[in-house]
Structure 1
C-alpha cells in the first residue's frame, strides 16, 4: 500500500506512542484505538510503523475484544462476529466451497472411469491443460502481442515451467498413491499441503499468521479427523497393496500440491491471471503430453472410448476448468493455505454424491464434521481480514506494451 499515511487523524490528546522504535497502540475511550486513514478508507495493517508520525496508531484489522466486564466482552465479540461478514469474506467462503465441490466432482468422475476400466491419470488431465492453453494463451498473445508473449516465454518461462511441473506431477503422484495405500492415509496425508503452503507463503511473501489462524487450521484438521472417523466407521476404506509406497507417493504429491498452490499465489498476486493460468496450460500441455506419450501410449489404444467415457472426461475437464479459474481468484482474495483448508469439506460433498450414485447411508458424524471445518474457516479470519494476508500488485512485465494502452508495466485488473 504505497500511499498509506497520506491522511492522518491527529490525536493531540494521545501521548507519544513510540517506545524503543515500536509504535504502541493507544486506547481511545470511544474507539479503542486511534485511526489511520488513506483516501477515506481505513488502513488494513500493511503500514510501515516507522513511516507513521508519533501519536498516531494504525487501526486493528478487526474491532477489539473488550475484557472489562462480561457484558462488554460478549458485546465486543458480537460486534467482531458481525464485522467478519464482509463481501470479500463471504465471497472467499463461497469460492472455497465451490472449488471443494469441483474436487468432489473430479473424484466422482475418476471413480466412474475406473469402474469402466479406464485408468489413464496423465491422459485424463491432459485435456484440462489443453483447454487452459486454448482459453488463456490466445488472450495473452492478444494483450501482449506475439513479440511480447515470446519475450515473456524467454525471460519468465522457467518460472512457469516449475509451476506447471509441480502441478502435473502433483496430480499424477496423488492419483497413483490411491492405487497403493488406504483411503484413510490418503485423506490424512493430503492435508500435508496445508503446512507446506503456510511455510512457502512466509518464504515467498513473508506472510505471518496470527495465533488465532493456527487455531483455525487446527479446528479444520479436527473436522477432517471427524470425516476420516466417519469413513472408517462406515467401512468406506479399502485394503492397501503397498502402504509404504502409497504413503510416500501421497506425501510427495501433497508437497507438490503445496508448492504449486503457494507458487501460483505468488504469481497471481503480481501478474495478470490470464498470463499465469495461460502459462500453466501452455507448459502443462507439453509436460503432461510427453509424460502421457511415454507412460500410457499403449493403454490409449486398449481402453474403451465410448459415449459414457467421453461424457465423464468432459465432466471431469469442466470441473477442473472451473477449479483452475476460481482458485487463482481465491489466492488473491485470501491465500493458498485457505484454499487448501476449504478443500477439507470435499468428503462431505462426496457423501451427498454417494447418496444418489452409490446409495450410501448418511452417517450422522459427517454433518458436525462439515460444521467444524466451516467453523475453522471462520476462525481463520477472526483476527485478520482476508485482504491483510499479503499485498496484491498486479502488473504486466516491464518489457510488454499492452495492446490498446501503449504504456509499459500497466496496472492490470485481472
Structure 2
C-alpha cells in the first residue's frame, strides 16, 4: 500500500529516519513556491520599513530651526486659531516698531507696560500663568483690558520650555519684557519654593529659549530695590553692595542679576535689569500696603503702621506706575541687539542695571494721612514694630544713571498718584463712604 505524504514526516527523534526522495516535479514546484514566498516576504518587509521611516522622519522628527515661522498644528495650544491670535497681536504698525513678548502681562506692571507699547505701535504678546498669589479675578479683569486693546495673553508658565519655543517659532520677537515673578517679601516665609521656581528656574528657562532663538531678542527684566537689603548707605546707588539680602525674595532677585550676567557673558544676550522701587497706582497689587490700607480704612478696620526700633516710621520710595512704564520703555528703546546666534556668542553684548524710583522716600504715616484725606475717613491706626520677615526700614533710589542714560524722569508725586489710585479703586470695587465713616458696596 502506497504511503501518503503525511507518512513521510520526520519522527520525533531526528537523524534516525531518512525520508524517500520526492519526485522531480515536486522539487520544481516546491522551489517556485519558496521563491514566491521569499519575494512576497521581502516586499512586505521593505514596504513596512519604508512606512516606518516615513512616519519617523516626517511626522515625529522636530521642526528644523532654520524654519522660523513654522505653522503650528491644530493639536498645539489653541491650534491654528491660537496661532492667528498670536500673529495678529504681535503685528507692529509698520517697520521699525518692536515685537515684544511681555511675561507677567496680566500683572500690575505688565498690564500697563503692554498697553503703552501697543498704543505707540509695537506688536505685543502677553504671557501669564494667572497664579493665585492674590485675587485671580483682578488678573482676569486686567486681561480683559488688554484684550480690548488688541493684546492677546497666552495662558502659560515661563517654566514651560515647549510653550516658549513654540512662541518663538511663530514670532520673531525683537524684545522680551520679562516681568513675570513671584512677588512679595512676606509670602516667602510661607512658600519659599514658589520664589525659586518662578524667579530663578523660570528666569533660566526663559534665557535658555532666548539664547537659542535666531535672532536673539534683547531682554529687559524686573529686578527689585530689595536687592539692596541691609545696605544703610542712602540713597541706594547701582554701585552699592547687594550681597546682603534681607529676604528670600531679595535673594532670588539678586540671583537673577548674577544669572543675567552669566547669559550675557557666555551667550551674547543683551540684558537690562530694572530695580523697581515700591510701584503703586491703578490696577495695583492687593498685597501692597497702600492697597490693603485703602480697603481696611473704608471698612473701618484697624491698620498696622510699622515703626523702626527707635520709633521712626518705615519709609518707602513710592514710584507711580506711569513713571515706571516710562522707565521700562526707555530701557527697551535704548537696548542694543544681542550678539549671539544659535546660543553662541559672536561679540560683547550690552549688560545694564538701573534704579527706577521717585528719589523721595515717604514715611508710611504720611502715606496713611494722604489716604485719610482722599477717602475722607479717619483711619484706625496701630503702631507696631517692624516684623523680622524680610521687610527693610527704608528705601531710597539714586536715579541719576537712569536719568542720564534712559531719559528717566519721574513726574508724579505721592498725593497725586494716590488720588488716581483711589479713584480707580472706588470705581472698580464699587465702594462708597458713609458720613459715619463706615462703607458699603454699591
Judging by fraction of residues, say which structure has more helix.
1
TM-score range, shorter chain: under 0.3
Q: Normalising to structure 1: TM-score of the pair? A: 0.22
Structure with the greater alpha carbon radius of gyration: 2
Judging by fraction of residues, say which structure has more strand.
2
Q: Normalising to structure 2: TM-score of the pair? A: 0.21
